[in-house]
Structure 1
Amino acid sequence: MSLFWRIYGLNALVLGAATALLLWAPVTVSVPVLLTEAAILVGGLAVMLVANAALLRIGLAPLDRLTRLMTTVDLLRPGQRLSVAGHGGVPNLIRTFNDMLERLEAERAASTARALSAQEGERRRLSQELHDEVGQSMTAVLLGLKQVADRAPEPLAAEVRQAQETTRQSLDEVRRLARRLRPGVLEDLGLTSALTSLTTDFATHTGLEVTGRFDPDLPPLTSDTELVLYRIAQESLTNAVRHSDAQHIRLTLQHEPGEVMLRIEDDGSGIRLEREGAGIRGMRERALLVGATLEISPGEKAGTRVSLFVPATEENA
């Protein structure tokens, strides 16, 4: 039954019941109207209005649920669907909306995969240029400064050595940026070694206590899955350092029944969950690429906990 005929039928039912009561009820209307008769008529009208409102509420409830979902749906949290039963205008509308959500989620996942693939390619190119061009140029500058320092008199030699030390620190920073842009250790030594290097690097350059605990019995994962795990760990550590005022960060990677869990937890000031920034939404997009689930919640005592659950399926093996 279409929505029009459903609403028409509900109103016809109420009006028909009222007409039947007027026909068979021993009630007459005097002229002028008596107070008791007016009370009965007003009471009947009130009953009609209440019954009509209740029936319309029941009939339009699926549209209310659809409206609420349309205002809150988020493609980064897939699987939000409305239950539907029966046939007709409203069930068909809900089915169409559910199908549209499936298409949008599939298109969003495909476009995100292309965008992130292009981003990783650009990162590899920049890392290679930093390593090959900038790194080699700064190395040549270091060698030239060393030769000048060896031949210069002592007051000038001290200044040259100071410039040499500054250049060496800048070269180390360039190499660190190149490693962050393209984690070569992930490709060469695997996920555990890459995460160990990442925690060590963050602890060295931030002065925070960053500890890692890694399960030695991890199932085999695809390169895309390992890259997603690494990037989410990297972004979570960066957020903890920038925004949480944390002193200790704990990173855990372990194998649980049917899934691999990555967890980053700090003891900072916590995170506001009312509005997610670009970094968190970027992590959600990466998680969708491998069918993972990302959860962000307060820690046990304080701070923020980021948990990523990657299904250990054949696609990720």
Structure 2
Amino acid sequence: MAKPHPEKAALRRRAERRLADERGLGDAPGEAPAESAMLEVFHELRVHQVELELQNEELRGVQTTLEESHDALAASEQRYRDLFESAPVAYLLLDLEGRIQSANRFAVALLDVNPAAVDRTKFSEIVSAPSQDAYFLHRRALLDGKRPGPIEIELRASERIPSIPVELHASQARLAGSPQDELLVALLDLSARRRAEHDRAESEHQRRLMADALPIPVSYVDSTERYQFCNASFASWHGLGATEIRDRPLHEILGATAYAQVRDHVRAALGGETSRFEGEIAFPAAGRRWVSIVYAPDRSDDGGIRGYYELVDDRSSLRRAELRVRDAAARAEMAEEEQRRTLAADLHDDVGQLLSLLVIKLRALQDALEGDRARAVGEIHGLANQVRERISSLSFELSPALLFDVGLIAAAERLAEDIESKYGLHVEVETHGEVEAIDEVIRVALYRSLRELLINAAKHAGTGQARLEFWAGADAIELRVIDDGRGFEPAKPTQGFGLVSLHNRIESLGGSLEIESVLGQGTTCRISLPSRRDTR
């Protein structure tokens, strides 16, 4: 005997359980009465009836589900249709001949066609004459089964709307319910983009006109250290056109040596800090230039660094003039020193020797006399001896021979002894490095400055101790005069210090003078000068 189908068997079991529930027998299987075949037939009929009721219930549930799905599908279709109609993109459906089958509201407005007649219009009639070839080739590629990328075309101008640039995206497909393939087209209005590009180009043009009018080289470098803009002056400096410089890396335009000089300033600017470089750079095309370069970071709205602006101030002429002034100051210093040496030599060799001879003669005369006359000549002898010593001291102050015959340190030590002898200020001398390997003009300037500072300390510091330090480097030498005296306010120095003239003399030689002082805590004066003068 063949087994019943599983689904039918399950349906029968469900029907029998329902009949059993109606009789109040729970889930126990029913048994047909053995005494009556009629009751068995009736039971089978009742089971079939219940089976039909169960099947009807399932069909009603399926129908309800189908109705709900249909409603959901219709709602979804309506949402997509609303999205399609309200999208700010022109959507069209074309047949293979290029006739418009349907279009959304944006497309109707963009094409400026009658909504009632849109489905009888060939799309090629809307394309401007200059864009016909591009559209034809694009459509032909689609019909040949290819997938061409988007193209830019111009829509034909109408009475109300001028020619509109659009980006055309198209593909070939067969939609549900359609007997043949169709062309799905999307048009993006490029008018706003073209206006933005025009405005940007106009802004770029105006910026270039203003930048080119500047007498200094100006450029813009992005965060990858590539030039994105430069004015005519900058391009001329590098012997290139502005378009040749654009997108090229910084180190390639500047050269390895110049790039190494400014690299730290570039990185500081890309880190968000305004930086300035000042010094001499050898440019590949412009040659050696003394420049001051400002690196100003360019920040985006969110605070990020997009790049930096570079402004170059060529100070070569100013530098040459400055060097000429320094050279003139050095010559004046040496001329004055030469006059001092001449005068010192005259005092020492002529006046000094005559006074020495006078002292000897007076001594002999004193020895030859007696009584009051001898005492009178003795007093004259003493005065003559004092004049001789003063002339010798004055000769050293005018131009110490030690400074030129032995060196700066020996002259400084002798000066320290004189200061202690005259003013009671004990001065310790310290040296660091090759102090004597300096230019003669610098040596003289340091000695004169040292003498002035020590005399100031002796007169105004109110202390008996001071320290003198020489620090010699590869390219510069620093002199420090330190005392632990009463100090003063650097902004309001004591009258008579002579610091203004000292500062001017040091600055004229390319050096600097710094003073640190605190009331009651002493004073430190630092003089820094180049070891050798730059005469280029």
Shared fold (TM-score, shorter chain, > 0.5): yes
Where 1:143 maps in the other structure, the secondary structure is helix
1:160 matched residue in structure 2: 377
Name the one with the larger helix percent.
Answer: 1
| 2:498 pairs with one of 276, 279, 284 | 279
Counterpart amino acid of 1:152?
A: L
Question: Unpaired segments of 5 or more residues in structure 1?
Answer: 3-78, 86-93
3-state SS in 2 of match to 1:297: strand
1:311 & 1:146 partners in 2: Cα distance? 52
Q: Displacement of 1:185 after TM fit?
A: 0.4
CA distance in 2, matches of 1:307, 1:178: 28
Shift of 1:150: 0.6
Name the residue aligned to 2:426: 209
Match of 1:137 in 2: 354
Residue in 1 that maps onto 2:220: none
Please state how far the C-alpha of 1:162 moved relative to its aligned partner.
2.8
CA apart distance, 1:217: 4.4
Q: Which has the higher contact order (CA 8 A, sep 6+)?
A: 1
* Structure 1 CA distance for aligned equivalents of residues 394 and 347 of structure 2: 8
Tell me the secondary structure at the aligned position of residue 521 of structure 2.
Answer: coil
TM normalised by structure 2 equals 0.38
The 5 Å alignment of 1:115-264 reads 115-215=332-432, 217-218=434-435, 220-256=437-473, 259-264=476-481
State the AA in 1 paired with 2:366: A
CA separation of 1:129/1:257 partners in 2, compared to 1, >3 Å: closer, same or farther? Answer: closer
Residues 279, 258 of structure 1: alpha-carbon distance in 2 compared, 3 angstrom cutoff: same
Question: Residues 265 and 299 of structure 1 are in contact (CA less than 8 Å); yes or no, is this contact kept in structure 2?
Answer: no
Contact 2:478 2:526 in 1 (8 A): yes
Counterpart contact for 1:267–1:299, Cα < 8 Å? no
For residues 7-48 of structure 1, what are the alpha-carbon distances to aligned partners after superposition, in whole Å with 9 as ceiling and x for unaligned? xxxxxxxxxxxxxxxxxxxxxxxxxxxxxxxxxxxxxxxxxx
Task: Answer whether contact 1:112 1:285 (CA < 8 A) is retained.
Answer: no
Hey, what's the Cα distance between the residues in 1 that align with 2:355 and 2:491?
Answer: 45
Root-mean-square deviation (CA, aligned residues, Å) is 3.7
**Structure-1 residue corresponding to 2:198:** none
String of CA shifts for 1:173-219, please: whole Å, max 9, x gaps.
11111011111101111111111111111111222222212236446
Question: Match for residue 181 of structure 2?
Answer: none
TM-score, length basis structure 1: 0.61
One-letter code aligned to 1:222? D
How far did residue 257 of structure 1 move?
6.5
Q: Secondary structure at the match of 1:129?
A: helix
Identical amino acids, percent of aligned pairs? 27
Structure 2 distance, partners of 1:226, 1:169, is 31
| Greater alpha carbon shift after TM alignment, 263-272 vs 170-179 | 263-272
Alpha carbons of structure 1 residues 219 and 201: separation in structure 2 relative to 1, 3 Å: closer
Kindly indicate whether residue 526 of structure 2 is the aligned counterpart of residue 307 of structure 1.
Answer: yes
C-alpha distance in 1 between matches for 2:534 and 2:519: 33
Alignment of 1:21-36 (within 5 A): none
Select 1:292's aligned residue among 500, 511, 515.
511
- TM-superposed deviation, 1:313: 6.3
C-alpha distance after superposition, 1:54-105 (max 9, x if no partner)? xxxxxxxxxxxxxxxxxxxxxxxxx9x89599xxxxxxxx969x78865764
User: 1:147 is aligned with what amino acid?
Assistant: A
One-letter code aligned to 1:284: H
Equivalent residues, number: 233
Deviations 1:276-306 (A, max 9, x none): 7683233334434543322122169623211
Question: Which one has a bigger Cα radius of gyration?
Answer: 2
What 5-or-longer segments of structure 2 have no aligned partner?
Answer: 1-208, 211-289, 297-311
The secondary structure found in structure 1 opposite 2:491 is coil
CA–CA distance in 2 between the matches of 1:315 and 1:100?
15
Distance 1:128 1:255 in 2: 31
Q: For the residues of structure 2 that align with 1:217 and 1:149, how far apart are their CA atoms?
A: 52
Structure 2 counterpart SS, 1:304: strand
Name the CA shift for 1:159/1:175 in 2 (closer, same or farther; >3 Å).
same
Q: Name the CA shift for 1:104/1:223 in 2 (closer, same or farther; >3 Å).
A: closer
Q: Which is further off, 183-192 or 282-291? A: 282-291
Counterparts of 1:174 and 1:260 in 2: how far apart (Å)?
Answer: 33
Compared with structure 1, are the counterparts of its residues 144 and 123 closer, same or farther at alpha carbon in structure 2 (3 Å cutoff)?
same
As a proportion of its length, which structure holds more strand? 2
* Letter of the structure 2 residue corresponding to residue 121 of structure 1: E
Q: 1:205 and 1:278 mapped to 2: Cα distance? A: 18
- In structure 1, the residue matched to 2:101 is none
